């Protein structure tokens, strides 16, 4: 019997397959996650050739889901959850009930299930994958908008339902004795964890990471962020029996309320992307064509339940709750799939004898097929938006009570401001000049100690690396008039200019440099309105001083300096 490949080989081959198939998917204008699914299917036990260790990849996938939800939590605020609560709570409960009833009916009619089995089968087809939904929204740039907030609130409610479902299934397999006590205990543990995070976590975790950040080591800060994300998630599972993903989400949410959230998000993005690929790879590993062939009608019905019960049900409920059609379509399409929690529920029910093994195939097809169809689902729902937007009846219905909008993230009141990157000797002088004339300025500073000093001087400041999109986005470049780069690094300046221009092509830029070649490059690219080279300005200033002291009139001296400046390599004004 051949030996199984070592874990290192599994990881390398899995990532390589995911990369190759993801690249092929992009070439076909499909989302990379479809390529990751296909890569997993190629390495599944049911296909010939290399077979990945399902247990090892499942563990890595759980880490990936945790990091993904941690990153989502960093961009999510408790007030965001409260703002969408009146939509997410009744909507998600009604949607789970609707999709669950459809799934239970399919299980009774096509698999001969009854009672607890029908309940488990329906519930497994009624819980969306948080990883898939957030990834789909992120790829379309909707994770930070209203659609993202509603979807995340919806997913949190579904996650709470899963917690109760995991308690109910073992109780149902052994009768109803102790069911009420088990449910009460589950709710109590969940409430205790949430209270601990909101009361103690929001003080302890930011304090801990601030202490690490003051040390100035980026490596230790990144490691500390990962330890907090995974440590809190594991503690939530081990101590409170809360799902790993929900624990990571709350860890991110309490950190996101502090001023270190933007940099923490930037540090975890690369890890999230790598582990997200492993998650979808692990889903592909579950594909078994033989199990699907055993119950083809039930498998097709399961896929239909997911698309109609999850996607269609969510879409219809959001319209009924007065959500704009475009937002409802985006959320509905993102929810038209199932994933990790459905697998957990199904395996638990099969292990308890509630579901037969034949139920595994339809649930897998419902997940795999719906994820593959995600691009088409988004397009299909988008086609309904113009027709619904033109509906007078729907417009009259939507004129009912409006929901409270969540406040935008970042520092409030900033508009038409200057973004100043760097608070060294140059930056402090520029900030003092702007503040002297009461002009709005927002500082972005990477050094934690310097950022705290600026804050103590009442300078609005965002701590973090401005070359990271998450950090610069917090400074609202799309609403700014001016970007002033008082940082010395040429490569970093180019990165910040590119990010700012992507958000606001009209933003004016002033940048310092120490290299004539860099000045020439910026002039060629049109990337800045002003380039200031320190040594050149020192030379010109000293020349002006010498001319005046030797009797040259001030106007003539200034004209000479202007001529010299124009003749030097590059030009000071590029606008």
pLDDT digits (tens, 9 = 90+) for 224-243: 988 998 999 899 888 888 77
The per-residue pLDDT of the chain, averaged, comes to 81
Report the candidate in 220, 11, 561 with the shortest Cα–Cα distance to residue 19. 11
**CB distance 385 to 378 below 8 Å:** no
Per-residue pLDDT, averaged over 373-396, amounts to 86
* 242 contact partners, CB below 8 Å, separation of at least 6: 163, 189, 190, 193, 236
The three-point CA angle 259-260-263 to 5° equals: 125
**CB distance 172 to 149 below 8 Å:** no
**Sign of torsion over alpha carbons 130, 132, 138, 142:** negative
**CB distance 201 to 254 below 8 Å:** yes
pLDDT in tens, 242-279: 778 778 888 888 888 788 888 888 888 888 788 878 87
Determine what percent of the chain is predicted with pLDDT higher than 90. 15
Among 212-226, 397-411, 549-563, which stretch is predicted with the lowest mean pLDDT?
Answer: 397-411
Strands (E), 122-219: none
**CB distance 423 to 431 below 8 Å:** yes
Separation CA 88–CA 78 (nearest Å): 14
* 465 contact partners, CB below 8 Å, separation of at least 6: 263, 266, 446, 471
Report the candidate in 69, 30, 448, 59 with the shortest Cα–Cα distance to residue 279. 59
Half-sphere exposure at residue 285, Cβ-oriented, CA atoms within 13 angstroms: 23
Separation CA 125–CA 309 (nearest Å): 8
pLDDT in tens, 150-172: 888 898 888 778 877 776 776 66
- Pairwise pLDDT comparison (59 vs 490), residue with the higher score: 59
Long-range contacts, stretch 39-43, CB < 8 angstroms, 24+ apart: 39/14, 39/281, 39/284, 40/14, 40/280, 40/281, 40/282, 40/283, 40/284, 40/285, 40/286, 40/287, 41/284, 41/285, 41/287, 42/17, 42/284, 43/13, 43/14, 43/17, 43/281, 43/284, 43/285
- State the pLDDT at residue 20: 93
């Amino acid at each position: 019997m051949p030996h199984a490949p070592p874990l290192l080989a599994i990881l390398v081959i899995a990532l390589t397959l995911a990369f190759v198939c993801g690249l092929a998917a992009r070439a076909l204008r499909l989302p990379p996650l479809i390529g990751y699914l296909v890569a997993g299917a190629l390495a599944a036990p049911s296909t010939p050739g290399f077979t990945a260790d399902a247990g090892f990849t499942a563990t890595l996938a759980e880490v990936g889901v945790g990091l993904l939800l941690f990153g989502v939590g960093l961009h999510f605020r408790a007030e965001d959850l409260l703002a969408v609560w009146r939509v997410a709570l009744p909507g998600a409960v009604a949607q789970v009930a609707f999709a669950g009833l459809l799934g239970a009916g399919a299980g009774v009619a096509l698999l001969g299930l009854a009672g607890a089995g029908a309940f488990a089968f329906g519930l497994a087809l009624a819980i969306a994958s948080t990883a898939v939904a957030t990834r789909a929204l992120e790829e379309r740039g909707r994770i930070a908008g209203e659609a993202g907030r509603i979807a995340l609130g919806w997913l949190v409610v579904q996650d709470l339902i899963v917690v109760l479902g995991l308690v109910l299934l073992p109780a149902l397999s052994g009768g109803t004795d102790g069911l009420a006590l088990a449910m009460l205990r589950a709710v109590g543990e969940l409430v205790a964890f949430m209270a601990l995070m909101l009361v103690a976590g929001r003080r302890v975790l930011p304090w801990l990471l601030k202490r690490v950040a003051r040390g100035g080591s980026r490596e230790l800060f990144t490691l500390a962020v990962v330890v907090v994300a995974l440590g809190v998630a594991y503690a939530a599972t081990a101590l409170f029996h809360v799902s790993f993903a929900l624990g990571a989400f709350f860890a991110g949410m309490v950190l996101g309320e502090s001023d270190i959230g933007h940099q923490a998000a930037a540090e975890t993005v690369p890890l999230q992307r790598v582990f997200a690929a492993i998650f979808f790879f692990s889903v592909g590993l579950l594909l078994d064509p033989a199990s699907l062939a055993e119950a083809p009608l039930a498998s097709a019905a399961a896929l239909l339940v997911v698309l109609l019960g999850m996607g269609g049900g969510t879409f219809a409920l959001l319209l009924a709750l007065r959500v704009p059609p475009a937002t409802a379509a985006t959320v509905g399409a993102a929810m038209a799939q199932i994933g990790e929690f459905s697998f957990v529920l199904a395996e638990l029910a099969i292990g308890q004898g509630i579901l037969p093994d034949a139920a595994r195939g339809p649930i897998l097809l419902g997940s795999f097929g719906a994820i593959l169809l995600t691009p088409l689902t988004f397009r299909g729902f988008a086609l309904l938006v113009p027709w619904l937007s033109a509906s007078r009846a729907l417009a009259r219905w939507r004129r009912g009570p409006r929901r409270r909008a969540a406040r935008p993230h970042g520092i409030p009141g900033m508009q038409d401001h200057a973004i100043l990157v760097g608070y060294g000797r140059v930056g402090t002088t520029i900030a003092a000049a702007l503040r002297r004339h009461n002009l709005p300025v927002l500082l972005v500073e990477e050094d934690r100690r310097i950022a705290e000093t600026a804050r103590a001087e009442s300078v609005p400041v965002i701590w973090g690396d401005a070359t990271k999109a998450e950090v610069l986005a917090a400074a609202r470049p799309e609403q700014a008039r001016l970007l002033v780069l008082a940082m010395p690094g040429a490569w970093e300046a180019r990165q910040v200019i590119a990010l700012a221009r992507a958000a606001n092509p009209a933003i004016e830029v002033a940048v310092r440099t120490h290299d004539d070649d860099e000045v020439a490059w910026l002039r060629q690219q049109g990337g800045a309105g002003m380039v200031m080279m320190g040594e050149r300005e020192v030379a010109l200033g000293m020349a002006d001083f010498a001319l005046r002291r030797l009797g040259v009139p001030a106007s003539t001296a200034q004209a000479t300096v202007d001529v010299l400046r124009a003749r030097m390599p590059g030009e000071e004004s590029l606008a």
